[in-house]
Amino acid sequence: MSEQRAVKKMRLDAFLSRAGRGTRSEVRQLIRRGRVLLDGAVCRRAGEHVEGRAVQVDGDQVVAPADSLHVVLFKPLGVSCSHDPREAPLVDGLLPAAWRRLGLQMVGRLDRATTGLLVLTTDGALLHELTHPSRKVVKRYRVRFAGRLPADAAERCAEGFQIGKEERPTRSARLEVEATDRATIHLREGRYRQVRRMFRRLGVEVTALHRDRVGDYDLPEDLRPGEWALLEEEDLERLLRDSSL
Ligand code: URA
């Protein structure tokens, strides 16, 4: 968990996106269309590394984006994602104090009683890409519950249903029931306490909830509750990759 690892290689598409030239898919189109030059020559490889090289889009020099900080944290039980000291213990307290002024933002909060994969970033474009409803990044939750799930629970999750007073039904989700008290659910959205509310609607009570995957990125196995690690460029790629439902 060394802060030295913050210095890392950056791909051309990530560089352009961070420099405000569009989302990953938009900048990849620019690259494919031959509108991007690397050291004066057209570069059509989105994965090309850019350190120390001149990047131009349509003849315009691209200024290097400020270094961003991306972190994965294993959120422990009982810790709040709020910034309000009255809600302590807080996620903020698990991170180096020196980071407090950097504007780290959480990508999809977890409630106090939920554990697992929490991503934090100072990069507004990445935050937007990971949370914007149109991206539909898949989140995987391991669920323990009390009560009997109805036989058609998986079909109902796949179809979507109303929760609380919200008019819009839930988006299609994949539910795998593994035992009478254990299931996995894959969601493409992140509404307030969504898993707990969906399970309650299905007639059971969630007793433990753990998020262990976002996109194609798994919570690292060597991370213990309360520990964090810096995310590498390839981790960001995985987070953004579509893992189908
Ligand atoms: N669903 C919940 O109910 N809680 C979380 O923290 C995340 C998803």
Q: Which two tokens stand for residue 233?
A: 């460029």
Q: Which pLDDT score is estimated for 209? A: 98
Q: Are both 152 and 207 inside the same structural domain? A: yes
Q: Are both 122 and 56 inside the same structural domain? A: no
Higher per-residue pLDDT: 22 or 159? 159
Could you report the per-residue pLDDT of 105-117, keeping only the tens digit for each?
999 999 999 999 9
Mean local confidence (pLDDT), 180-187: 98
Residue 185 domain-assigned? yes
Residue 21 domain-assigned? yes
Q: Which two tokens stand for residue 43?
A: 């570069």
Cβ atoms of 74 and 228 within 8 Å: the answer is: yes
Higher per-residue pLDDT: 73 or 96? 73
Look at residue 4 and tell me whether its pLDDT is greater than 60.
Answer: no
Centre of ligand 1 to C-alpha 191, Å, is 8
Q: Which atom of ligand 1 is nearest to the CA of 141?
A: 8
User: What residues make up the domain containing 204?
Assistant: 139-214
Look at residue 18 and tell me whether its pLDDT is greater than 80.
Answer: no
Residue 123, CB-side half-sphere exposure with 13 Å CA sphere: 23
Q: Are both 52 and 107 inside the same structural domain? A: no
Residues with Cβ within 8 Å of 91's Cβ and at least 6 positions away in sequence, in order, are 73, 75, 79, 80, 81, 106, 118, 120
Query: Is any atom of ligand 1 closer than 6 Å to the C-beta of 194?
Result: yes
Among 130-134, 154-158, 183-187, 205-209, which stretch is predicted with the lowest mean pLDDT? 130-134
Mean local confidence (pLDDT), 83-96: 96
Q: Which two tokens stand for residue 144?
A: 């323990």
> pTM of the entire structure?
0.78
Q: Name the residues annotated as catalytic.
A: 111
What percent of the chain is predicted at pLDDT more than 70? 94
